[in-house]
A and B are shown apart, each in its own frame.
Chain A
């Protein structure tokens, strides 16, 4: 009989091991209750710090029937089985299990309880780095407890359980490994589109909250000089200080700093008991602070073994909550929780290393550009003085004076290109799609933007060496006078039209002395669409969507004079229009290039 039971159980376990941790455990308990003459089952996992038992899964027992989720003393059969390192059997007519309420034991007619400690033996739980491995040096993974009523086969149960403990352990550990894969996928799915390190860490912390029911978590990283441990992400800090004010210095005697210096994890079941002086910058949690774990974020970006280098920072977690029927009981971290959390810290560490280096390179770029911007602005500013205050200069040769406006046009064009590159760079380095050049509100399109296009086009034609631009309002300029206000901000709208005019000039046909740009519009209740049409070299078929991809330039564009172009103008303009609840798109036409600028009307 024992053999038959074992075969059936192993078949069920094989099927269940591909599920997540909770589902696998539930399936194993359900299988036991189906195959064996038992009525109900509980599985407790072990907290490796204090050897408490925490209820992880149950079958056929309701939450209100359970006496407590966490077992801290030996007044129950499960903890006794663990401490005595053997299967224990108890007659419930003489004693109580200490696991479920005695009323429930009587009501359900349970006669016996069997507690089976699940040994770890040679199973490798985790190949985590040494700093965390010590806590996984457990002799037992958990305790399985089963309840049964009057039964003739009960004397065969203990030999059966003795024969399956190793298999149970293996399947359970396999389910934990599977859970790690799920956690990794959840982190990747949630953070795939982030553009900066802090956004990645904030979103990753939300995954921990959702998957592992952690009440409070924070991530701190050392600053460049490695003297200040700064907060980079958090689920919330008490009293809501400004993020940049939350930091520790390296000489502060705090667990967070200690972990971030030594690379050794710190775990406790009761933070207030073990570290009473934990008042500074605690996480906002609903319950009293109890279970606490801090894992180092190792520096994977260097040649030597990460464990020997000073960590990048620390992940700090407060209050693990049990997931039993959405209960809000705070419990200790079990060994599975610590495996998953240390894996999470490793994941954060690897990604942080790479993102940090990318951010440093961006900052280097910013430093380079900063100097360039300064020089360009200095030249432009000084030329501006000469143009606006001619009383400053005495020019003996009028040829110099007539060259000034052209020079200024060239300088302004460089400024515009540099600014746009930086604005595009900001879009790609920030979580909010970058910064607009102003606050969105009501814009009078004709008066504030369209009437200035001719002057703008005249200035832009100089550095672009294009034919004389002519902006034509179709059917007439008067028809544009009463356009309704649109939603947006003037600077961004001006920049979008500037980009389209620039492209029209840049890609005009070389043999034409005049560059015609026609504006017309279409209007409905919600939107105003302005069409900008030019008759230049056009966009090759099939590349209509590509022109809005960063850095892309069509071949015919690359061969145009003057050379150069970043390929960021249209993507940037499209981004800006979408940020103003509008859009920018290309409309195919047989002999012209048509761009549609779509604005949301102010209702």
Chain B
């Protein structure tokens, strides 16, 4: 299962379709709170695609993500991943793709620091030339991981 966690449906629906056309099962969640509650198990061959600037539950009282700790919801995706890694400590970090189209240097530095600590791959959304480019990048990550690279 590929879990695609990104609030921007219009921007990502074609990317999800591309993954499905390649034969993958894809589940989509639009905010960090829903994703965290819904993902009850993560198997080693699952794959996570997480947007960094991710929404949380619009009702702040029901969200487990604070405005301050998520830098005004600019890094909610990183917090979600941290919580998932704690919930599923054996899930391989190589099965995670962080995506973002942030261009604020402060956010990008935070993402890079996160990736360095956890060994997670990050790609800017604008690095992908097309849906096919995105699909083949994910497929390469899935294949590399299968081959133990």
Contacts and interface: CB of A to CB of B under 8 A. Distances in A.
A369 interface: yes
A387 to B, nearest CB: 9
A429 B10 contact: no
A385 B101 CA distance: 21
B110 A381 contact: no
B11 A377 contact: yes
Given A224-B72, A366-B104, A374 B110 contact: no
A248 to B, nearest CB: 12
A388 B134 CA distance: 13
B40 interface: no
Contacts of B101: 370, 373-374, 377
A115 B104 CA distance: 60
Contacts of A244: 110, 113
B115 to A, nearest CB: 12
Interface stretch (B13-21, B30-38, B42-50, B139-147): B13-21
A381 B11 contact: yes
Contact of A381 (B53, B103, B105, B131): B131
A182 B4 CA distance: 56
Interface size grouping (class) on chain B: 20 to 34
A382 B13 CA distance: 8
Contacts of A243: 113
Nearest to A363: B104
A223 B68 contact: yes
A446 B21 CA distance: 33
10 closest A-B pairs (Cβ-Cβ)?
A381-B14, A378-B10, A430-B105, A378-B11, A422-B103, A374-B11, A384-B131, A419-B126, A384-B130, A385-B14
A242 interface: yes
Contacts of A83: none
Contacts of B87: none
B25 interface: no
Given A224-B72, A242-B117, A384-B131, A362 B15 contact: no
Contact of B125 (A228, A377, A426): A377
Contacts, number: 75
B8 interface: yes
B67 interface: yes
B49 to A, nearest CB: 15
Contacts of A369: 103
B84 interface: no
A425 interface: yes
Given A381-B131, A389-B21, A425 B68 contact: no
B26 interface: no
Contacts of B15: 381
Given A363-B104, A389-B21, A415-B126, 5 more contacts: A242-B117, A244-B113, A373-B125, A381-B15, A384-B14
Nearest to B110: A244
Interface in A163-213: 196, 198
A133 interface: no
B28 to A, nearest CB: 15
B91 to A, nearest CB: 22
A228 B10 CA distance: 35
Interface of A: 196, 198, 223-225, 227-228, 242-244, 362-363, 366, 369-370, 373-375, 377-378, 381-382, 384-385, 388-389, 415, 419, 422, 425-426, 429-430, 435, 437, 491
A429 B131 CA distance: 30
24 contacts: A196-B106, A223-B68, A227-B68, A366-B102, A370-B53, A370-B101, A370-B102, A373-B126, A377-B101, A377-B126, A381-B15, A382-B13, A384-B131, A384-B132, A385-B17, A388-B130, A388-B131, A389-B21, A415-B126, A422-B103, A426-B105, A429-B105, A435-B108, A437-B127
Contacts of A426: 103, 105, 108
Contacts of A196: 105-106
**Dominant secondary structure at the B interface:** helix
Contacts of B127: 437, 491
A374 B126 contact: no
A331 B69 CA distance: 39
Contacts of A228: 68
Contacts of B14: 378, 381-382, 384-385
B131 A225 contact: no
A419 B125 CA distance: 10
B76 to A, nearest CB: 15
Contacts of A227: 68
Contacts of A377: 11, 101, 125-126
A227 B67 CA distance: 11
A188 to B, nearest CB: 23
A375 to B, nearest CB: 8
Contacts of B104: 362-363, 366, 429
A20 B11 CA distance: 61
A377 B128 CA distance: 10
A409 to B, nearest CB: 13
A437 B101 CA distance: 13
Nearest to A370: B101
B5 to A, nearest CB: 16
B120 to A, nearest CB: 15
A375 B53 CA distance: 16
A385 B68 contact: no
A223 B66 CA distance: 13
Contact of A225 (B53, B68, B113): B68
Interface in B65-85: 67-68, 71-72
A378 B11 CA distance: 4
Contacts of A382: 13-14
Contacts of A425: 103
Nearest to B18: A385
A369 B72 CA distance: 18
